[in-house]
Chains A and B, each alone.
Chain A
């Protein structure tokens, strides 16, 4: 019983197969670590689509969400912390190592591939439909996971949690309390000073953006805080500012006035 691939599946295979393979080769061959990671992401995405095409949509989605979405992002996170110019050295420390590795790798791949091909040559293909019992892919997985393989499932999760906790314990740095302030403490300390905000920038409200020009306060005085260090402060060129009530116009009048004392109750 030899089934051939369906039309769509064949197209997907021959389009994505080379892409997946190119990703694998690119991962090995690229010098930059981040580029390597991206090639690997490419291969994993292609695998995810393969799983979906082979009627295992749940596996495909999990492959993309967990492996490409979470694990590879964490890989990238670490690589970005390492620095973007940490490319591999091209000096061969062991002579002939590269040639030997290529020969051995190709030979191993050939052996494994040939072995699998020979072993599965005449096996009948029995798609996933046979195992699901007509209930669909996801309920079938759920049923197996929570009945037959429950113990393995739980043991795996316990193992993963142990690994995560262990990694956290190993990476934990014991600091003397108070030796380094956290973001919360720094922010709180800053709000206890007299100036919570930033200093006024030079040149605010002045007609220049040079760092030597101090900012001008609304009443025309120079803001001392904005004076730059080590520079001879320039005299700021004042903007023409409205001086009289006529020039300010009506918006100011609408605010009311404090100039004459309030009329009512002034005597009390």
Chain B
């Protein structure tokens, strides 16, 4: 399946034979790169979102505010580590670790560049590769779900539990769409190893278009546009980023799964989220954007794909993908949960299945009819992709027809452009208050009863409840005294 394996293009045989100190250098290098990319991505995100909102963003710490995330990290590390009294202690402690480790592990199969010489040893710029390379990334993201789900469960609190439940359903659903979107890439590359997928995107196909000879595009993003779009949408859901950040929706669930976390444990969740973003961006670059290979105008220069230069192209692609993440966050409002699930199961998954069918058919036709893969992809695949996407567009427009019409009427001046039978929520009135308690004014703000005494929860067995019924919160340290929380309002 490998088209033209050049001297620099590593193959699967090149892996697994490194000297131990080369492996060590690569491991430390990947760790450093990921931590640095996290620090960079946080500042980058805050600055870009600020610009999108007509603000300036962080500009105090360091030159032009670029050391802000370093300061934030230090601040997080020095905060108090709180262990909630109701937490399941071992799981509560393990959850951030489980979230972080797979995030780092996944990067080990991402190819950063061609074979280079490090201190006289020629080695590929990739920690390792396997015939199942991409599946390792999928396995790591599957493991990362545990961190979030367990964090929600172990906190022993309502909002984190809801966030954990949401993320369990969300990440399993969007993992399916993500896995299906990658299948078409496997079909094209004929391999699941990341380095061979990059090699497969090395050279464009020679095409003739009515006698005009040219080299076609080689990126999978152009050859498989539907897969690329589904992948991009699915990984936003997979990494819990806006507009799919329902597990940590701050307007609904306080902080979602990490509500009860503080200090370094919270920092680990933060780190895991950003490392995951970097990893899926790197995987997008590898699978769809030609990997470390230079984009077209630069690739005319012969030296562009040799030596250490490809690192530059690779990280440029990663930063552009990160920018798209931030752009989405700055633009789109959060989806409602039912919309989100419907989108995943009823739009993304069927579209991905249909597209796999189209791609498999094209592969068979090109093999049987002895056409070149690129020709079939360009003349059949791209029109087929346009048909699929146009069908989706029409379907979504017809599904949202009444909402759109209502919005148009509303903007045309009608105050209540409504259904024929306006289905208005009953006013929040006194009916909810039990007898004896003061009645609340119409539409007023709810307050708890003034003579409220919280009875000791029957679930608390581990720690004695203070005699006046106030809840007890323990500090994180073992053997320290418990603090009584203020009983008043």
* Residues of chain A whose beta carbon lies under 8 Å from any beta carbon of chain B: 32, 34-35, 38, 41, 45, 48, 57-58, 60-62, 64-65, 68-70, 73-74, 76-77, 80-81, 84-85, 136-138, 181-190, 192-193, 195, 199, 201-202, 210-211, 225-231
If A65-B138, A69-B145, A192-B418 touch, does A229 touch B132 (CB 8 Å cutoff)? no
Q: Which 6 A-B pairs have the closest CB atoms?
A: A69-B142, A229-B440, A230-B438, A61-B135, A64-B139, A229-B444
Query: B130 and A73: CB pair below 8 A?
Result: no
What 17 additional pairs, Cβ within 8 angstroms, besides A61-B136, A181-B423?
A: A34-B153, A41-B146, A58-B132, A61-B138, A64-B143, A65-B138, A68-B142, A69-B145, A69-B172, A76-B149, A184-B336, A192-B416, A192-B423, A202-B445, A225-B443, A225-B445, A227-B441
If A189-B423, A227-B441 touch, does A80 touch B165 (CB 8 Å cutoff)? yes
Residue numbers in A under 8 Å from B423 (CB-CB): 181, 185, 188-189, 192
- B435-452 interface bits toward A, Cβ cutoff 8 Å, 1 = contact, 0 = none: 001111101111101100
| Bound: A192/B424 CA distance, A | 6
Residue numbers in B under 8 Å from A199 (CB-CB): 443, 445
- Report 19 cross-chain contacts, Cβ distance below 8 Å, ordered by A residue: A65-B142, A74-B168, A74-B172, A76-B150, A77-B149, A77-B165, A84-B88, A84-B153, A84-B161, A85-B459, A138-B132, A182-B338, A188-B423, A189-B423, A192-B416, A202-B445, A228-B447, A230-B437, A231-B450
Query: B143 and A137: CB pair below 8 A?
Result: no
Nearest B residue to A57, CB-CB: B132
- B121-163 interface bits toward A, Cβ cutoff 8 Å, 1 = contact, 0 = none: 0000000001110011011001101100110110010000100
Return A219 CB to nearest CB of chain B, in Å.
21
B425 within 8 A of A: yes
Partner of B143, one of A38, A68, A185: A68
Query: A183 and B336: CB pair below 8 A?
Result: yes
User: Considering residues A69, A84, A193, which has the most beta carbons from chain B within 10 angstroms of its beta carbon?
Assistant: A69
Return A133 CB to nearest CB of chain B, in Å.
15
Query: A229 and B441: CB pair below 8 A?
Result: yes
Nearest A residue to B165, CB-CB: A80
Query: A189 and B424: CB pair below 8 A?
Result: yes
| Bound: A242/B219 CA distance, A | 60
| Bound: A227/B444 CA distance, A | 6
| Bound: A136/B193 CA distance, A | 12
Residue numbers in A under 8 Å from B192 (CB-CB): 138
Query: B439 and A84: CB pair below 8 A?
Result: no
The tally of residues in B whose CB lies under 8 Å from a CB in A reads 53
Query: A193 and B424: CB pair below 8 A?
Result: yes
| Bound: A64/B144 CA distance, A | 12
Return B138 CB to nearest CB of chain A, in Å.
5
Partner of B161, one of A35, A68, A80, A227: A80
| Bound: A73/B152 CA distance, A | 13
Return A199 CB to nearest CB of chain B, in Å.
6
Residue numbers in A under 8 Å from B168 (CB-CB): 73-74, 76-77, 80
B354 within 8 A of A: no
- B240-264 interface bits toward A, Cβ cutoff 8 Å, 1 = contact, 0 = none: 0000000000000000000000000
User: Considering residues A48, A190, A202, A231, which has the most beta carbons from chain B within 10 angstroms of its beta carbon?
Assistant: A231
| Bound: A162/B149 CA distance, A | 29
- B215-247 interface bits toward A, Cβ cutoff 8 Å, 1 = contact, 0 = none: 000000000000000000000000000000000
| Bound: A74/B146 CA distance, A | 11
Residue numbers in A under 8 Å from B444 (CB-CB): 225, 227-229
B169 within 8 A of A: yes
Query: A65 and B139: CB pair below 8 A?
Result: yes
B319 within 8 A of A: no
Query: B425 and A190: CB pair below 8 A?
Result: yes
B422 within 8 A of A: yes
If A57-B132, A189-B425 touch, does A73 touch B145 (CB 8 Å cutoff)? yes
| Bound: A64/B423 CA distance, A | 48
B472 within 8 A of A: no
Partner of B172, one of A57, A70, A189: A70
Query: B135 and A65: CB pair below 8 A?
Result: yes
User: Considering residues B152, B168, B445, B450, which has the most beta carbons from chain A within 10 angstroms of its beta carbon?
Assistant: B445
If A183-B336, A192-B416 touch, does A211 touch B447 (CB 8 Å cutoff)? yes
Query: A57 and B130: CB pair below 8 A?
Result: yes
B489 within 8 A of A: yes
Return A47 CB to nearest CB of chain B, in Å.
13
Query: B172 and A38: CB pair below 8 A?
Result: no
Query: B143 and A229: CB pair below 8 A?
Result: no
Residue numbers in A under 8 Å from B450 (CB-CB): 230-231
| Bound: A187/B447 CA distance, A | 24
Residue numbers in A under 8 Å from B438 (CB-CB): 229-230
Return A10 CB to nearest CB of chain B, in Å.
18
Residue numbers in A under 8 Å from B459 (CB-CB): 85
| Bound: A182/B152 CA distance, A | 25
Residue numbers in A under 8 Å from B443 (CB-CB): 195, 199, 225
Query: A138 and B131: CB pair below 8 A?
Result: yes
Query: B131 and A227: CB pair below 8 A?
Result: no
CB neighbors of A among B87-135 (8 A): 88, 91, 130-132, 135
B290 within 8 A of A: no
Return A135 CB to nearest CB of chain B, in Å.
11
Residue numbers in B under 8 Å from A186 (CB-CB): 425
User: Considering residues B136, B142, B169, which has the most beta carbons from chain A within 10 angstroms of its beta carbon?
Assistant: B142
B337 within 8 A of A: yes
| Bound: A227/B145 CA distance, A | 43
Nearest A residue to B145, CB-CB: A73
B374 within 8 A of A: no
B273 within 8 A of A: no
B164 within 8 A of A: yes
Query: B424 and A80: CB pair below 8 A?
Result: no
| Bound: A35/B91 CA distance, A | 8
| Bound: A177/B192 CA distance, A | 48
Residue numbers in B under 8 Å from A57 (CB-CB): 130-132
Return B114 CB to nearest CB of chain A, in Å.
23
| Bound: A195/B336 CA distance, A | 19
If A35-B91, A183-B338 touch, does A69 touch B439 (CB 8 Å cutoff)? no
Nearest A residue to B430, CB-CB: A229
Residue numbers in B under 8 Å from A136 (CB-CB): 131
Query: B425 and A193: CB pair below 8 A?
Result: yes
